[in-house]
Structure formats: C-alpha cells, structure tokens
Amino acid sequence: MKFLVSMIACVLLLLPLTPVSADHHHVVDQKAVLITGATTGIGRASAERLAAEGYFVYAGARKDADMEELNQIDNIMAVRLDVTDQNQIDAAVTLIEKQGRGLWGLVNNAGVNIVAPLIEAKESDFEFLFDVNVFGVFRVTKAFAPMIIESNGRIVNISSISGVLAGGGYGMYAASKHALEAMTDALASELEEFGVHVSAVNPGNFGSEIGLTRCKRLLKNADADDWGLFEERRQGMISGCEKRLDAGVEEEGTPPDAVALAIEQALFEENPRDRYLVVPEQLEAGWTISKAIDEMLALNIGHEHSYTRDELVQLIDAMWPYFSGEKSWDDPDEETEMRAFMQSWMRKGVPEED
C-alpha cells in the first residue's frame, strides 16, 4: 500500500514537468467565433477577414460543396448549420464544445429577403422569413449562450438599415429586422451582468447574394403570382431581376468589406458600440438617420408629456460625448453623472416622489 501511495506521489510531482504542446496552447488561446450563413456575402467576407487576422472561425453552411470550400481556408472549420433545424444547431454545439477552443463570439448573420406588398404577401412567405431571420437568431443564440457567457464574449446580430427603415414592398423583411433590433436591445440588457456585450450591425446596400436569391425566388414564381393592385410594380421588379441575374453578384454593388470590418470591431475592440451603421454612400446614412429622427419627433409631438426643441437638443448634447468616445459608461463617475442627468431630464427636473 505504501509503495502504491509513493508511486502516485511521484507521478503527481512529475505532472507539472510534462511539457504541454504548442498546438494545445494555440487551441486554448486562439479566440473562436461562429458565423451563421458564412458561405457568401457578408458572412463569407467576415469569415475570411477574421481567419486572416488569426482568429478561428466556425463557418456555418448548409451544402457539402460550400463546406468543402470553406475547409480549404486556414483558421476556418465549416459547420453544417441550418438555423431553422434544431437538430443541426444542437449538433453544432456538441461539435464546437469538443474542439476545446470555447467560443468567444457569435455572429448571427444568416438571413433571407422576400419582397411583396403586405396586402398581397403570402402568409407562408412571411412565416419562412421570420423562421430564418428571427427565430433562427433566437434558436442559435439560446443554444450557444452558455459558451458565450463562459468566455464573457460577444454576440453580434446582423440587422440592416431596414431595422430602421420600412419602404413599400419591404414590409416583411423590415418587420423581421425591426424584431431583431428589439431582440438585440433586450439581449444586451439581459447579458450585461454576465460580462457579455451584444451589438447590432446595420448594413446598407452592399453586394450580397441575398438580393440575387430574392430575385431567383421572384422569377421562379413569375407566372404563378399576382400582386393585384401592385402588379405593375411586380412586373418592373421581374424585369430588374432578370438584369441582375445576368450581371451576377460581382456587378450588384459595393463588396461588403466594410461590414466585415465593423463585425470585427464589434467582436474585438475594447469598447464595442451598441450599433454599427455601415453604408456604402452618404445618401443611405441620410435615409436611416433622418428616419430615426423622424420617429423621435413624431413620438414627441402632440401630447402633454412632450419635450421642447431646446430640451431635445439638451439631451443630444449630454449624450454626444458618450457616443463620440469622449466619455465612457465604464467610468463610474461619468456613468453616475449621466444617469443623474437622465433621471432629471426625463422628469423635466421634477424631483422623484418618495
């Protein structure tokens, strides 16, 4: 018995001296990110950028050919992941857990776009769009939240300028992105206490296959569908889609490199923002920001609790330093100062009742 104890003691003393392989250290130290819908467009550009920067990317894909192609890229491992399939999501969790890297970041990028006037839209199309763009984000985030919480990591939801805007024909898509905006805000509030930061990235009209996929769906049903009062508009879209498909995605718009950069910032910069608006031209920024201001003013006018113009400007001036980086919510004194101002501003200087 004493001999056995002595042998165990010798083994324990020797364990710290056993060298740990460099590969093991690399796996543990290399921050890993899962990107859904990583085969084309924003997802593919982000996967390639992060991999080139030395991060490890689990790239969500649905087709064998796409997975094989992604696996040829250094620092990328393809993961079969249809965000509408809970079994595939669960399998992806198990696979990533077994890899031993943990998971620092989750980028909810997978999405679809279907266009139709709301009074002519099919309920099945509405359901499909929400199944991917909203419930897909819900399923994946819920499944991977424990890993993200364990690493005090980041979640980035790929929204859109359509999370603010809602033009004719884009009601279904905009509704899904408005829902994602609300989910992002709620999730950010819920996970803050666990050291997890949640951001939304709001891209404009960059080159992406989401538009081409939408066109293919429209052309496939060109003879079967009818938009009634809006049929002339549908025929115009069909003509435009035929031209887009002939040109291909390379001719469709600005490559989404700037969006990939914003995603990297949201994942890894020291003080990530809550939202990253990324548009290829000034006009799109103007559309989005003016719409946000329009909604603010519309909410403010015509009731007994509205604020004056000067009071609105006072609020903007107080918040500006925090959004410009001159002040930080991470500074306890500055946070206390801002919270006190907000309480006073919201009540118009009227003290809170005991």
Backbone angles phi, psi at 278, to 5 degrees: -130, 110
Which positions ≥6 away from 135 have C-beta within 8 Å? 84
Annotated catalytic, 173? yes
- The CA distance from 109 to 38, in Å, is 8
The one catalytic residue in 55, 173, 307, 322 is 173
Which positions ≥6 away from 255 have C-beta within 8 Å? 45, 206, 207
- The CA distance from 201 to 263, in Å, is 7
Residues 102/154, Cβ–Cβ less than 8 Å: no
Residue with tokens 């669960």: 90
Residues 56/33, Cβ–Cβ less than 8 Å: yes
What is the length of the chain?
A: 354
- The CA distance from 106 to 279, in Å, is 22
Which positions ≥6 away from 78 have C-beta within 8 Å? 59, 61, 66, 67, 68, 70, 71
- The CA distance from 33 to 154, in Å, is 9
Nearest to 76 by CA among 44, 116, 98, 102: 44
Active site residues: 173
